[in-house]
Structure 1
Amino acid sequence: MSAIAFAAMPTSDAEALWNGGVDAYSHRPETMISDGPGHPCRHCLRNIDAGEELYVFAYRPFPDLQPYAETGPVFLHKVPCRRYEAEEVLPPVLTTSPDFIVRGYGENNRIVYGTGAVTPIGDIEAYAGELLSREGIAYVHVRSARNNCYQCRINKKEAPAYGDAGASV
């Protein structure tokens, strides 16, 4: 059993948008039609199929504004989807690129310098586990190696799950 847990966007964040809410910049999400792979849903952690409607919006996966609270564009199925639950399994969206940025953050939600690395998909679990075993690292983000877009969070398995608090859409 893995010592890490992959965590998708909290359902409360997705529901806020599905119910007409605004994103991290106080804008309503834009609706697009997927043209195929390349539109990973941050809630179910699957690609949005060609022809499906999706939202694109500014997402800040941090509880508060501060200098390290990165905000960027992400995608969400426009029709509600089920949150990714197989926490110990590499999510489908992390198999669509040869590598991703894996980076550690402290309890203060700030980047722990020296932890960010472009990581081949086959090494994500091991590198995240190594980071989470270090003193001062509370969680890890997986981000696109090409555009730095947030993909998902990785927690220590024994830590409380990244659930319905702590982020801002």
Structure 2
Amino acid sequence: MSFRILGLAPDQFQPLFSLSDAELEKIGARRLFADEPGMPCRVSMAHAELGEELLLLNFEHQPANTPYRATHAIYVRKLAKHAFTTVDSVPEILATRLLAVRAYNAEHMMIDAEIVEGILVTELFERFFADPQTSYLHVHNARRGCYAGRVERYDGDGSKGKYTN
């Protein structure tokens, strides 16, 4: 079964980069400059380069009005202009981390969850999507809980599961 991993749409974050640090603080966000390797952008699904400008902000990754509605911290790179997408492969920022993967049904209720080393996550995606009730998956960094990305079934023509969040 094919799957597609999606980064977040950049348009919702780009205006935030023009805000002052005081304005960002009012909305609970912070401007940072990458001072260590490994700061993962949730738009480009790539690590920021040292010295690169990012925002650290709270993001509502599960907006459905269910008990599983959720927000968490994410990094977004200023230079990220296009949402990442890949089919049947796992980007390095996921493959090198311990991950928590959560399966949701069409009513946005969590129906399964598992912790897995990123290098083995493909097998878990396949197992979760073998269940016809599974509509989509959310991936989080297991240690800090940060939202890492969305995974959808992929039918080959891109028509199923368009996600713009």
Question: TM-score band, normalised by the shorter chain?
Answer: 0.7 to 0.9
Query: What is the rounded CA distance, in whole Å, between the counterparts of 2:65 and 2:32 in structure 1?
Result: 28
Distance 1:108 1:95, change over 3 A: same
More displaced stretch, 28-37 vs 141-150: 28-37
Give 2:100's aligned amino acid: I
How far apart are residue 39 of structure 1 and its match? 1.3
Q: Is the contact between residue 56 and residue 76 of structure 2 (CA under 8 Å) also seen in structure 1?
A: yes
C-alpha contact (below 8 Å) 2:6/2:149 kept by paired residues: yes
Q: 2-side partners of 1:120 and 1:20: how far apart?
A: 33
What code does the residue aligned with 1:132 have? Answer: F
Aligned counterpart, 1:78: 78
Mark the runs of 5 or more structure 2 residues left unpaired by the alignment: 20-25
Partner of 2:68: 68
Amino acid paired to 1:56: L
1:8-47 alignment, distance < 5 Å = 8-9=7-8, 11=9, 14-20=10-16, 27=27, 29-47=29-47
Gapped runs of 5+ residues in structure 1? none
Q: Relative contact order: is structure 1 or structure 2 higher (C-alpha 8 Å, sep ≥ 6)? A: 1
- Rounded Cα–Cα distance in structure 1 between residues aligned with 2:124 and 2:79: 34
How many residue pairs get aligned? The number is: 155
Who is 1:102 aligned against?
Answer: 101
SS in 1 for 2:31: strand
CA distance in structure 2 between the aligned counterparts of 1:85 and 1:118, rounded to whole angstroms: 23
Residue aligned with 1:19, SS: helix
User: Could you list the per-position Cα deviations for residues 110-156 of structure 1 after superposition, in whole angstroms to 9, with x for gaps in the alignment?
Assistant: 211xx211112222111111101203210111111101111011111
CA RMSD between the two structures: 2.2
Q: Which has the higher strand share?
A: 2
Shift of 1:75: 0.4
| 1:63-115 superposed Cα distances (whole Å, 9 cap, x missing partner) | 43432111100000023432213232211211332x21112011111211xx2
**AA at the equivalent of 2:57:** F
Instruction: Give the 3-state SS of the residue equivalent to 1:104 in structure 2.
Output: strand
Which of 1 and 2 has greater Rg? 2
